[in-house]
Homo-oligomer: A and B are copies of this chain.
Amino acid sequence: MLLLRRCPRLTRLCSVRHAATPALAPCAVPCSAPYAAPYAAPCAARFSSDTDFRESRWSRRWTHAAAGLLAGTGAVLAYALHQHQAEKADAITGPPVDKLPSSSPSSSPSSSSSSLPVFSQEEVSRHRSLEDGAWVTFKGGVYDITEFVAMHPGGDKILMAAGGAVEPFWALYAVHNQEHVLEILSAYKVGELSVEDQKKQQHLNPSDPFSADPERHPVLRINNLKPFNAEPPPEILTESYVTPNMLFFKRNHLPVPHVDPAAYELHVEIQGASAERGGTLSLTLDDLKTKFPKHTVTATIQCAGNRRSDMHKAKQVKGLNWGIGAISNATWGGAKLRDVLLAAGYSPDDAKWAKHVQFEGLDQDVGGTTYGASIPLKKALSEDGDCLLAYEMNGETLPADHGFPIRAIVPGTVGARNVKWLGKIVVSDVESSSHWQQNDYKGFSPSTDWDTVDYKTAPAIQELPVQSAITVPADGAVVDRDDEEVLLKGYAWSGGGREVVRVDVSIDGGKTWQTAQLKGSDEGGTAEAAAPPPGQAWAWKLWELTVPLPEDEQEMEVVCKAVDSSYNMQPDSILPIWNLRGVLSNAWHRVHVKIDEGGE
């Protein structure tokens, strides 16, 4: 884990309890600890340049502190920026001259100054770390924020923006939308982005079916570019109960279709329905929004391949190498699928023959084959099934990457059945004939290989099994012995509306267990208070546990496993659930954390 440099004064912020404290306050004790930094921060603290920074206990403490601060980013950021400005006024220790461009930064981040050098995007891209310098662009300006990293109240996450534009990250964390922030940034301006790069637009290549794909947030970890498949970094994933749209994992099977909302029509067909009582229905987007009551459902969607990388590590599998972030949670708004099926002429008599509801997407491959999947009719029709034809995601218009204008939301069911860019719905006696229903997204025995697999022998994945993962700290993280304890965070979810009722956490590889605190929503209610009706727990639980560092160990193997309302639990190990497609990877999640003993 990267050791960050930080002024000890701000570091002390973190000796206060990390995430549990709603509003952190910096300690008022004058900062006098020995501290060395190649890029000394503009701070009133005194620094001792002959101390190896990497050995500094302060710096190690900050490593942990940065993680702890994540939860309180907003309040701390606002305060710290203000504090920084105040400190600048009486004692500025500028960055080493050899590390800065010769010209002084402009005081206005958006203004152009002829005295500043011009950099290409390529040059900016080379500054992505503390070692190489951390540069960002903002509205045409180039900023060397290397020295600010240690002061950033949001911790080292600021480095995720390094080498590129800072705007997408500020959009993510609304706290940056303040005058103070612009003032801070202005102090670090080192140049202008070349006009060419400023004007640079995404070149639409008519021969590339993916060229019209929407822009994505740069923080996403890309598993595949075309089609686009990406997941948010784990430590960001569990920052909020509802995942911001731009961070919600993206799992596209085909190019994103460009749908004109004015021309859009959703076709609904009840295959066996007689003509006289209907059986087909075409609905415009406006019809869906105005002719049916709007319902909202908060539901977690997980890809069947979430945590495939864990399975792949144990034994090679075929599929996108998802980490633990192919899962996200959102509040969806739209018409009830049930209402639309009834409007299309579905009647209880149809239950005699109808068994499935097929979805067909508007996304298609070069041969014109569209994405498709189906769900059991019972799920689609159930009052309590909460299936939606969603046009909203977290209160916003459904984004292009998530199925604009309409996505089928099938709570409790694998992502693959939550069909995006929905073009057609068919009530049928058979499942979707699509590749993804028939020959993919199924589970097999560990003994089944590509020579022996017979997709007909396994049911299509619908509900998913109980799952959980540790998002903080990351695997390989280092914590400071002096911190005495460490905050563990993660998520837990189960398919089929089964509520997560307990998360067991171990720091000794599974020998002994503690029970984590479950958080049902951003409102911070306890699990009991927020309990949904039985069988309708569509959303995940975030969990936290603060554990004392074990006294006689220099490493912890942190493990988590969840229990759902049917008391299903996660299997212990990967190999016995291994399958050739690497789906359903829900064995105990493990991360290794080192304890740095330090020493004065």
Partner-B contacts on A (CB < 8 A)? 376, 378-379, 384, 443, 445-448, 458-459, 461-466, 495-496, 498, 501-502, 504, 510, 512-515, 533-535, 561, 563, 565-573, 576-577, 584
Partner of A447, one of B376, B378, B466, B512: B512
Bound together, the chains give a CA A534 to CA B355 distance in angstroms of: 10
Partner of A502, one of B445, B464, B512: B445
Known pairs A458-B502, A576-B510; A534 contacts B378 (CB<8 A):
yes
Known pairs A447-B512, A501-B459; A465 contacts B565 (CB<8 A):
no
Bound together, the chains give a CA A57 to CA B462 distance in angstroms of: 51
Q: State whether A565 touches B513 (Cβ < 8 A).
A: no
Question: Across the interface, which residues of B come within 8 angstroms of A577, CB to CB?
Answer: 569
Q: State whether B495 touches A445 (Cβ < 8 A).
A: no
* For the complex of A and B, 5 pairs with smallest distance between CB atoms: A572-B572, A463-B566, A465-B568, A568-B568, A376-B534
Bound together, the chains give a CA A464 to CA B566 distance in angstroms of: 5
Bound together, the chains give a CA A384 to CA B535 distance in angstroms of: 14
Question: Across the interface, which residues of B come within 8 angstroms of A501, CB to CB?
Answer: 458-459
Q: State whether A447 touches B514 (Cβ < 8 A).
A: yes
- Closest chain B residue to A414, Cβ basis: B567
Q: State whether B572 touches A576 (Cβ < 8 A).
A: yes
Can you pick out 19 interface pairs between chain A and chain B where the beta carbons lie within 8 Å of each other?
Answer: A376-B534, A443-B502, A443-B563, A447-B514, A458-B501, A458-B502, A459-B565, A462-B566, A463-B566, A463-B567, A464-B567, A465-B566, A465-B569, A504-B576, A568-B568, A569-B577, A570-B571, A571-B571, A572-B572
Question: Across the interface, which residues of B come within 8 angstroms of A573, CB to CB?
Answer: 572
Q: State whether B461 touches A567 (Cβ < 8 A).
A: yes
Q: State whether B569 touches A572 (Cβ < 8 A).
A: no
CB distance from A388 to the nearest CB of B (A): 20
CB distance from A100 to the nearest CB of B (A): 54
Bound together, the chains give a CA A572 to CA B443 distance in angstroms of: 18
Given contacts A378-B384, A378-B534, A443-B567, 13 further A-B contacts (CB under 8 A): A445-B514, A447-B514, A447-B515, A458-B501, A462-B534, A462-B565, A463-B565, A464-B566, A464-B567, A466-B568, A496-B496, A496-B498, A571-B572
Q: State whether A566 touches B496 (Cβ < 8 A).
A: yes
Bound together, the chains give a CA A584 to CA B567 distance in angstroms of: 8
Question: Across the interface, which residues of B come within 8 angstroms of A466, CB to CB?
Answer: 568
Interface-central residue, A384, A446, A567, by most chain B CB under 10 Å: A567
Known pairs A378-B384, A384-B378, A576-B572; A513 contacts B446 (CB<8 A):
yes
Bound together, the chains give a CA A458 to CA B501 distance in angstroms of: 7
Q: State whether A533 touches B464 (Cβ < 8 A).
A: no
Bound together, the chains give a CA A466 to CA B532 distance in angstroms of: 23
- Closest chain B residue to A512, Cβ basis: B447
Bound together, the chains give a CA A446 to CA B513 distance in angstroms of: 7
- Closest chain B residue to A382, Cβ basis: B384
- Closest chain B residue to A351, Cβ basis: B533
CB distance from A387 to the nearest CB of B (A): 14
Bound together, the chains give a CA A533 to CA B356 distance in angstroms of: 11
CB distance from A577 to the nearest CB of B (A): 6
